[in-house]
Amino acid sequence: MSVLLKKVANPLLSIYKFAHDGREQWSYDYISETMARWLLRDQMTEIYSWAIPNQEAIESLVSLGPIVEMGAGKGYWANLVKNAGGDIIAFDIIPSNVWHPVDYALSGVVKNNSHRALFLCWPPYAEPMAYNYARQYKGSTIAVIGEERGCTGNDDFWEYLNDNFTLNKRVVIPQWYTIHDCLTIWKR
């Protein structure tokens, strides 16, 4: 006996089908463009960075003078800034030495380096990290890469920036599919 079941909302299936051009099954000989882009982004963020640097973004950072980068990941941006003639020191709670030395983010690093511009590239979403560092920072310039009021930092962070700094520059960078990140530079 067939039973007529109620159709329920199933966002997971919708996302799956979106990534597979409407199909409900994958196959070895077919991969959708969407899925390929998502897979590529996943891998590239692991190896390089969450954001894709271009020349204008690198030059804009170098022009800020000395920089302290927090949450620097593997140090990909720090390496490019340094190679372009910039002065940058990089920190993270996971130290590494892949593209550039990234030292452990001890407390006090931001406050003690307030003579440098503070650089945050994709600070964690819905976490207080960016907000905390912005409040500890006593200097004049904060550069952020990520989605403004999107999946970057938290609301407190963006409110703090808007209340205490003025947007000085916005730089377009290459964006991964469905991502809306850019570089913004804020001055106190």
Ligand X SMILES: C[S@@+](CC[C@H](N)C(=O)[O-])C[C@H]1O[C@@H](n2cnc3c(N)ncnc32)[C@H](O)[C@@H]1O
Residues that bind ligand X (CB under 6 A): 49-51, 70-73, 91-94, 105, 121-122, 124, 129
Q: Report, in Å, the least distance between residue 170 CB and ligand X.
A: 18
Least distance to ligand X from the beta carbon of 132, Å? 7
Q: What one-character DSSP code corresponds to residue 27?
A: B
Q: Which is nearer to ligand X, 128 or 139 (CB)?
A: 128
157 to 83, 93, 119, 132: CA distances (angstroms) = 30, 19, 14, 8
Place of tokens 């609301």: 155
- Cα–Cα dist 149/186, whole Å: 15
Query: Distance between CA atoms of 74 and 161, rounded to whole angstroms?
Result: 26
Instruction: Tell me how far, at minimum, the Cβ of 157 lies from ligand X, in Å.
Output: 13
We find the least distance from the C-beta atom of residue 139 to ligand X, in angstroms, to be 17
Nearest distance in Å: CB 104, ligand X:
9
Which residue is at the shortest CB distance from ligand X?
Answer: 73
- Of 30 and 104, the one with the shorter C-beta distance to ligand X is 104
User: Among residues 17 and 135, whose Cβ is nearest to ligand X?
Assistant: 135
Sheet holding 182-187, edge to edge: 96-97, 101-104, 88-92, 67-70, 117-121, 141-146, 182-187, 166-172
Nearer to ligand X, 51 or 67 (CB): 51
Residue positions counted in the chain: 188
| Nearest CB to ligand X, comparing residues 31 and 103 | 103
